């Protein structure tokens, strides 16, 4: 009888150890993949409209001149309220060009994919006046695609989950190359320290009676509809 009790106790200890090992060796959850309004994965180099996530006023996003009398420079503005006014489509380009789908919290470039080049600017988004101290940090075209580093830090954004959809964030980690699998390039730490990296939501602010895209304390909740 005593030997049976010892055998049973040994079985319980073995089962507990097995369960413990099983729990601690589970792989971590992968980074959440971004999905469009049809529930499909948002893919690289594919065109999407960025539209409000809920019944907020206004439509999608487009390029407009920032002054009344001149055609340049350009800013990124929300279109007027209209169910069919989705603005200009964009495409996403992650810091690791080998990736085929877009994941949350990943550094990426955003480019208007179906807009003519105007004012001799590229259609890649950037945070304007990055190394200055303006009242507002507006989002404008003429950013740089790829080439992660100190000279392009203002051209990197992230998509984060927010309420019923997503939000855009400027909080680049490209200098740490967290999302870059290419370790061949080494950045100068002294140069990195000279850059004051901004970390803020992308929202809409009032600008001459319009809604303009800028860094803001109030995020702009969005979803992505395939163009």
Query: DSSP secondary structure string, the chain?
Result: -HHHHHHHHHHHHHHHHHHHHHHHTSPPPPPPBPB-TTSPBPBTT--EEEEESSS-SS--EEEEESSSS-S-SEEEEEPPS-TT--B--EEEEESSTT--B-BTT--EEEEESS----TT--SB-EETTTTS--S--BEES----S--SGGGGGG-BEEEEETTEEEEEE---GGGTTT----S----HHHHHT-----EEEEEEEETTEEEEEEESS---EEEEE-
Please state whether the peptide bond connecting residue 189 to the residue before it is cis, i.e. omega within 30 degrees of 0: no
pLDDT of residue 205: 96
CATH class of 29-226: mainly beta
- Does the pLDDT value for residue 75 go beyond 80? yes
**Close Cβ partners of 38 (under 8 Å, ≥ 6 residues apart):** 226
Band (4; pLDDT cuts 50, 70, 90) = very low
- Model confidence over 145-203: pLDDT tens digits? 999 999 999 999 999 999 989 999 999 998 765 444 444 343 344 444 467 889 999 99
- Model confidence over 93-133: pLDDT tens digits? 999 989 999 999 999 999 999 888 899 899 999 999 988 88
pLDDT of residue 174: 87
Identify which has the larger pLDDT, 1 or 14: 1
- Does the pLDDT value for residue 13 go beyond 70? no
- Does the pLDDT value for residue 28 go beyond 90? no
When the pLDDT of each residue in the chain is averaged and rounded to a whole number, the result is 82
pLDDT of residue 83: 59
Average pLDDT for 194-216? 92
What percent of the chain has pLDDT above 70?
A: 76
pLDDT of residue 191: 45
């Amino acid at each position: 009888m005593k030997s049976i009790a010892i055998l049973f106790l040994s079985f319980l200890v073995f089962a507990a150890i097995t369960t413990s090992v099983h729990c601690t060796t589970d792989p971590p959850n992968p980074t959440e993949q971004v999905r469009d309004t049809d529930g499909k994965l948002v893919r690289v180099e594919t065109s999407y409209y960025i539209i409000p996530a809920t019944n907020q006023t206004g439509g999608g996003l487009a390029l407009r001149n920032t002054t009344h009398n001149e055609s340049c420079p350009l800013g990124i503005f929300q279109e007027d309220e209209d169910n069919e006014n989705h603005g200009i489509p964009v495409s996403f380009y992650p810091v690791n060009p080998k990736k085929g789908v877009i994941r949350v919290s990943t550094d990426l470039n955003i480019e208007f994919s179906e807009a003519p080049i105007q004012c001799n600017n590229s259609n890649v988004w950037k945070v304007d006046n990055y190394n200055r101290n303006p009242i507002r940090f507006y989002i404008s075209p003429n950013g740089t695609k790829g080439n992660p580093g100190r000279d392009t830090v203002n051209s990197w954004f992230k998509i984060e989950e927010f309420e019923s959809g997503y939000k855009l964030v400027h909080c680049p980690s490209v200098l740490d190359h967290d999302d870059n699998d290419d370790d061949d390039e080494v950045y100068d730490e002294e140069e990195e320290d000279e850059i004051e990296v901004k970390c803020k939501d992308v929202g809409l602010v009032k600008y001459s009676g319009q809604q303009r895209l800028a860094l803001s304390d109030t995020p702009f909740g969005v979803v992505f509809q395939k163009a």
